[in-house]
A and B are shown apart, each in its own frame.
Chain A
Amino acid sequence: MSTYTDPYASSQETTEGRVYSVTGGDWDSLVTEIGATKEERVVLNMGPQHPSTHGVLRLVLELEGETVTETRCGIGYLHTGIEKNTEYRNWTQGVTFVTRMDYLSPLFNETAYCLGVEKLLGITNDVTQRATVIRVMMMEFNRISSHMVALGTGALELGAISPMIFAFREREKVLDIFELISGLRMNMAYVRPGGLAQDLPQGSLSKIRETVKDLRHNFKDNEKLLIGNSIWIKRTQGIGYLDLAGCTTLGVTGPVLRATGLPWDLRKAQPYCGYEDYQFDIPTTDTCDVYGRFLIRMQELEQSLRIIEQCVSKLEKLEGEPVMVADKKIAWPSQLSVGGDGMGNSLNHIREIMGESMEALIHHFKLVTEGFKVPAGQVYTSIESPRGEMGVHLVSDGGTRPYRVHFRDPSFNNLQSTAAMCEGGQIADVIAAVASIDPVMGGVDR
């Protein structure tokens, strides 16, 4: 074709036909070359390294012109073997692993796992109320930070940069709260079987109240930018259609399901962590499209703020209550505290086990090295993560390590609906549809 070889847009003949490699903004030369071949059908490989697939998602699209005729997903590029690894650590150490699965919702992974372990142990009702309320508060903050990424990157992928800037600004505030409370901004292993790693530090409630106020004020910026924005509406309305029948047969949950008009939210339908005691609404739309899912995420932000406010007023009354079960054979003896240089061992605890009580030292050593035994059996616990039903299937053989840990991650399941949403549509709408599923590849591949 051309007289020179373009190092960024090379092409070669294969048994499957001519293969073009496109990197960077050299689409013009590709279009010229393909235009000369008189071939209408093009198989386009997108990813796994592509800025607008959430993480390492690979899409193989068959195109007729600009119409997508077939969509296939390739996943597994981020498989880390976390499920297998947990079988070689004790039950408490498992939290550190599972928090890294869906990295945008670490607290949901932890809580789902810990609820499962507690159910196996039969101590679900022994978890203190303070621990449960803090779990709820942290999860709702996490829902906000996760939705901020979904909205920000979703808008960015469709060419809107300002919403991303605002979304990440708000996410930063939430991560500051996580850092204040747990010492870490993500993957904090804060929720533990039986309770929490540590109590709220002094003065955190007033900081939380301030942040809630800021967030509520700032969310309006994004609303003004996107809701009613004619370009945004043209890019998202009627795009990525998936109705209720499609959702149920594909097992799709979360905002995608609620955009079909069904108010299915496990926090209301099958309450856990005392969600029945909170006042909040389940936003729904009946458009079954990308715009509807976007609206639901926007409205869920406000509902999360409402829940957080109720948590704060509950926590004020629960001041001084422990955040770990009373059973010393289960409660993790190690005490942590947030110091000037981040989270570390509590000096008071070190003083006790090293200088005051030999029995405390033995107890600490036995529980930390061996872990606790969990009676044999299996459970399935599920919670409503920002992306839908996060289920955990746990099997114990009666030992100190899990026999089997399986996460039913909502992203893994929901990503299957890509083909149903994209086929027959335009190639540019694939990006909008995938963004509206909000897949997180860490959770998909585990």
Chain B
Amino acid sequence: MFGVTGSGDTSGFGGLVASPINIGSTQRPFGGYFDQVADDLERVYPLFSDAIEKVVVDRGELTLFIKRDRLFDVAKILRDQLKFEMCMGVSGAHYPSEVGRELHAVYSLLSITRNQRIRLEVCVSDKDSHLPSLVEVWAGLNWHERETFDMFGIIFDNHSGLTRILMPDDWPGHPQRKDYPLGGIDIEYKGATVPAPSQRRSY
């Protein structure tokens, strides 16, 4: 609306400086039980330093960035040896600005034994958006992986039936990617036009 591009904020109210979306890695000590999780993982998994891209502790949550090739091994070790019995699901996120690692898959792990939570994050490029399926490790990921494929186009190799789950089977595109338009139509009211939500000014 009003032909404004980029930030429409000219008042300074919201602040003109955008903070970076990418939060740098955290160094030890991580605090809380996170050091213990990292220690345990390092002890039982000799390839730890090779498999983990970085560790981020932010807002009281631990995120392990895992290399794609090691994801399956790490997941299995986390389940069997570190007792993260449950995976609460995989959520995707699309960052078009991170060239070469546009698509992120985010796994939330829960250990009932330890009463702890951690998060795994794996980044793949848009052109080669393959990830190993973890259904073998946590069977409950079946539908979650199908949803992430449906919405983001991340292909989970070795999934037993990676088909669309929420959208119709013949739907083109992956709706929750940032390059997929929201759609919607302008609203006309008494001669004036209110643009569709995706066309409105954003800050």
| A interface list, Cβ under 8 A from B | 75-76, 79, 81, 83-85, 87-89, 119-120, 122, 248-252, 262, 264, 269-270, 366, 370-373, 375-380, 382, 389, 391, 393, 395-401, 403-404, 406, 408, 412-413, 415-416, 445-446
The closest CB in chain A to the CB of B135 belongs to A249
8 Å CB interface, B91-119 against A: 91-94, 106, 108, 110, 112, 115, 117, 119
Q: B11 to nearest A CB, angstroms?
A: 7
Closest chain A CB from B65 CB (angstroms): 12
Q: How far is the CB of A214 from chain B (nearest CB, A)?
A: 37
Whether the pair A366, B11 counts as a contact (CB closer than 8 A) is yes
Task: Tell me the minimal C-beta distance from A407 to chain B in angstroms.
Answer: 9
- In the complex, chain A residues whose CB is within 8 Å of the CB of B142: 416
Contact of B175 among A81, A262, A389 (CB under 8 A): A81
Tell whether B78 is near chain A: CB-to-CB under 8 Å: no
Docked complex Cα distance between A366 and B140 (Å): 44
Are B23 and A252 within 8 A (Cβ)? no
Write out the residue numbers on chain B whose beta carbons fall within 8 Å of the beta carbon of A270.
Answer: 115, 117
Cβ–Cβ < 8 Å partners of A377 in chain B: 23, 58-59
Is A399 in contact with B203, judged by CB distance below 8 angstroms?
A: yes
In the complex, whether B85 has a CB less than 8 A from a CB of chain A is yes
* 26 interchain pairs, CB-CB under 8 A: A76-B167, A79-B167, A85-B197, A88-B200, A89-B197, A249-B140, A251-B88, A251-B89, A251-B141, A270-B115, A370-B9, A377-B59, A380-B108, A382-B108, A393-B91, A393-B106, A393-B108, A395-B21, A395-B93, A398-B18, A400-B14, A403-B93, A408-B89, A412-B147, A445-B166, A446-B166
Interface pair A251/B203, CB less than 8 Å apart? no
Interface flags, B133-167, vs A, CB<8A=1, else 0? 00000111111100100010000000000001111
Instruction: State the CA gap A393–B88 with chains docked (Å).
Output: 11
B-chain residues with CB within 8 Å of residue A376 when the two chains form the complex: 19-23
The 4 closest A-B CB pairs, nearest first, are A251-B140, A398-B19, A406-B91, A250-B140
Q: Taking CB as reference atom, which chain A residue is nearest B58?
A: A377
When the two chains form the complex, which single residue of A249, A264, A370, A413 contacts B143, counting CB atoms closer than 8 Å? A413
Contact across chains for A391 and B175 when beta carbons are under 8 A apart: no
Give the complex CA separation of A88 and B198 in angstroms: 6
On chain B, the residues within 8 Å of A89 by CB distance are 197
Q: Are A120 and B59 in contact (CB under 8 A)?
A: yes
B61 interface residue (CB < 8 Å to A): yes
How many positions in chain B have a CB within 8 Å of any CB in the partner chain?
A: 54
Question: Which of chain A's residues have a CB closer than 8 A to the CB of B138?
Answer: 249, 251
Cα-based distance from A376 to B108 in the complex (angstroms): 19
Question: How far is the CB of A199 from the nearest CB of chain B, in Å?
Answer: 27
Residues of A contacting B168 in the complex (Cβ-Cβ under 8 angstroms) = 76
Alpha-carbon gap, A122 to B61, bound state (A):
13
The one of A81, A366, A373, A406 in contact with B15, judged by C-beta atoms closer than 8 angstroms, is A373
Between A252, A264, A376, the greatest number of chain B beta carbons within 10 A of the residue's beta carbon is seen for: A376
Main SS class of interface, B: loop
Taking a contact as CB atoms under 8 Å apart, the answer to whether B112 and A248 are in contact is yes
Report the bound CA distance from A78 to B59 in whole Å: 34
User: Separation in Å of the B92 CB from the closest CB of chain A?
Assistant: 8
Instruction: Decide: A119 near B59, CB < 8 A? Known: A249-B138, A408-B88.
Output: yes
B197: nearest chain-A partner, CB-CB: A88
Given known A-B contacts A251-B140, A370-B13, A395-B93, A389 and B21 have beta carbons under 8 A apart: no
Q: Given A84-B175, A248-B112, A393-B91, check contact A379 B15 (CB 8 Å).
A: no
A79 CA / B147 CA spacing, docked (Å): 11
CB distance A85 to B143 under 8 Å?
no
With a cutoff of 8 Å between Cβ atoms, the chain B residues found around residue A396 in the complex are: 21
In whole Å, how far is A381's beta carbon from the nearest beta carbon of chain B? 9
Give min CB distance, A279 to chain B, whole Å: 21
B129 / chain A contacts, CB cutoff of 8 Å: none
Q: Do residues A399 and B106 form an inter-chain contact, with CB atoms below 8 A?
A: no
Chain B positions 185 through 196: 1 when the CB is less than 8 Å from some CB of chain A, otherwise 0: 000000000000
Distance in angstroms between the alpha carbons of A264 and B115 in the assembled complex: 10
Task: Compute how far the CA of A229 lies from the CA of B77 in the bound complex, rounded to whole angstroms.
Answer: 47
14 further A-B contacts with Cβ under 8 Å, apart from A269-B115, A377-B58, A399-B202, are A76-B167, A88-B182, A250-B140, A251-B88, A262-B112, A370-B9, A377-B23, A380-B88, A382-B117, A398-B18, A399-B18, A400-B202, A416-B142, A445-B166
How far is B43's CA from A401's CA once the two chains are assembled, in angstroms? 41
Nearest CB of chain A from residue B63's CB, rounded to whole Å: 8
Interchain CB contact under 8 A, B166 and A264: no
- By beta carbon, the residue of chain A nearest B112 is A264
Specify the chain B residue showing the minimal Cβ separation from A375: B19
Contact of B119 among A372, A380, A400, A412 (CB under 8 A): A380
A370 contacts B88, C-beta separation under 8 Å:
no
B125: interface (CB < 8 Å) = no
Whether B51 sits at the interface, judged by CB under 8 Å, is no
Q: Compute how far the CA of A248 lies from the CA of B164 in the bound complex, rounded to whole angstroms.
A: 25
Instruction: Report Cα–Cα, A399/B16, bound state, in Å.
Output: 10
Q: Are A382 and B88 in contact (CB under 8 A)?
A: yes
How far in angstroms is the closest Cβ of chain B from A301? 25
- Asked whether any CB of chain A lies closer than 8 Å to the CB of B122, the reply is no
B123 contact set on A, CB distance < 8 A = none
Interfacial residues of chain B within 26-48, with CB under 8 A of chain A in the complex: none
**Does B87 count as interface, using CB distance less than 8 angstroms?**
yes
